């Protein structure tokens, strides 16, 4: 194939306006590269073909890019909600199991305030739950709110402490029969193996012949409980997990930044949901435990989205570039064949 003459003409100035025919030379070069013969409207066809392919590729790129980003966002939200619901369910199941076991003890004929038999029953209870490392102990409280029996994982039996001001005791006194349990507010323990640690008290009232006799209360250690069920909640290294009570107090967090107070206030404590805020994807699930309404929050940085979309965009660009080259080459080849014919 003869090489076309690409000699650039000398610029021609008329009235201060540069008439440069360099573009003609570029078109000649393109026609030689793509084997387009300068005949008729070949150059116009070439540019129209290039423009059409570019426009189609751009529209396809933008539309599919948005679809992929939306799909990845939905996937992240779904993952967050799935693991949050699973762990919330695990916590509720554990608390329910403890509550039911305490209710059985409270209804037992062997439970009497101050008796040695009661102490043996409480010791057996602690022994059965010891392996989990979450139950610190159990106490038997009389009708005035004073601890009369105490069994815990340390084997101590300190008694005499008043818990009459605790919400679970106030609740127990308001009941008219046994057979149910109450999950109290997380508080700092006053006695036993859990002293000075945050516990979640779970209590069940004791009635004898219709008369309130006291309450059986077990101490669930908050830190081991949350670590047991929440430590492994990860989508990637940027995932932060929080457990808050209905007053916005943080009961657990895995080292992430402090939660925005206004954000917490905007969340519905009773309904699962999701939202985007400050570059993070946030999903939240209620954890309802008797009288307690907690909220489990999971959020992940949008960097995960950006990484996935950047990878997709690179692959998409390379594919579109290949398609564009093939399309333009095909158009030129067909046009040249028609000229020869």
Alpha carbon distances (Å) from 109 to 181, 190, 204, 302: 18, 28, 14, 58
| Residue among 125, 196, 172 at smallest CA distance from 291 | 172
Q: Where are the domains of the chain?
A: 58-97+235-341, 107-225
Same-fold call for 58-97+235-341 versus 107-225: yes
Show the tokens assigned to 48: 């129209």
* CA 233 to the chain's CA centroid: 8
CATH number of 107-225: 3.30.450.20
Mean pLDDT on 85-109: 93
Predicted model pTM: 0.70
> Which of the pair, 136 or 311, is modelled with greater confidence?
136
The domain 58-97+235-341 having CATH identifier 3.30.450.20: the answer here is yes
pLDDT at position 203 is 96
Average of per-residue pLDDT values in the chain: 79
pLDDT at position 16 is 43
């Amino acid at each position: 194939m003869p090489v076309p003459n690409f000699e650039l003409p000398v610029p021609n100035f008329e009235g201060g306006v540069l008439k440069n025919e360099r573009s003609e030379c570029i078109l000649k070069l393109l026609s030689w590269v793509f084997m387009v013969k300068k005949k008729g409207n070949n150059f116009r066809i070439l540019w129209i073909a290039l423009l059409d392919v570019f426009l189609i590729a751009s529209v396809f790129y933008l539309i599919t890019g948005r679809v992929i980003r939306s799909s990845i966002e939905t996937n992240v939200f779904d993952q967050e909600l799935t693991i949050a619901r699973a762990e919330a369910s695990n916590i509720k199941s554990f608390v329910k199991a403890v509550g039911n076991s305490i209710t059985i003890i409270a209804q037992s004929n062997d439970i009497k305030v101050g008796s040695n038999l009661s102490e043996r029953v409480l010791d057996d209870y602690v022994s059965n739950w010891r392996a989990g490392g979450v139950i610190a102990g159990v106490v038997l409280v009389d009708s005035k709110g004073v601890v009369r029996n105490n069994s815990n994982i340390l084997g101590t039996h300190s008694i005499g402490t008043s818990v009459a001001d605790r919400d679970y005791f106030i609740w127990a006194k308001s009941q008219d029969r046994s057979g149910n349990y109450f999950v109290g507010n997380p508080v700092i323990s006053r006695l036993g193996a859990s002293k000075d640690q945050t516990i979640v008290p779970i209590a069940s009232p004791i009635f004898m012949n219709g008369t309130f006799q006291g309450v059986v209360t077990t101490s669930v250690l908050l830190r081991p409980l949350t670590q047991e069920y929440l430590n492994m909640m990860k989508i990637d290294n940027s995932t932060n997990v929080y457990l808050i009570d209905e007053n916005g107090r943080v009961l657990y967090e895995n080292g992430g930044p402090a939660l925005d107070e206004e954000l917490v206030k905007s969340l519905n404590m009773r309904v699962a949901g999701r939202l985007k805020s400050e570059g993070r994807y946030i999903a939240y699930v209620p954890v309802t435990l008797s009288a307690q309404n907690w909220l489990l929050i999971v959020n992940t940085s949008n960097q995960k989205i950006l990484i996935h979309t950047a990878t997709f965009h690179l692959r998409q660009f390379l594919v579109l570039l290949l398609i564009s080259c093939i399309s333009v080459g095909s158009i030129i080849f067909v046009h040249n064949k028609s000229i020869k014919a």
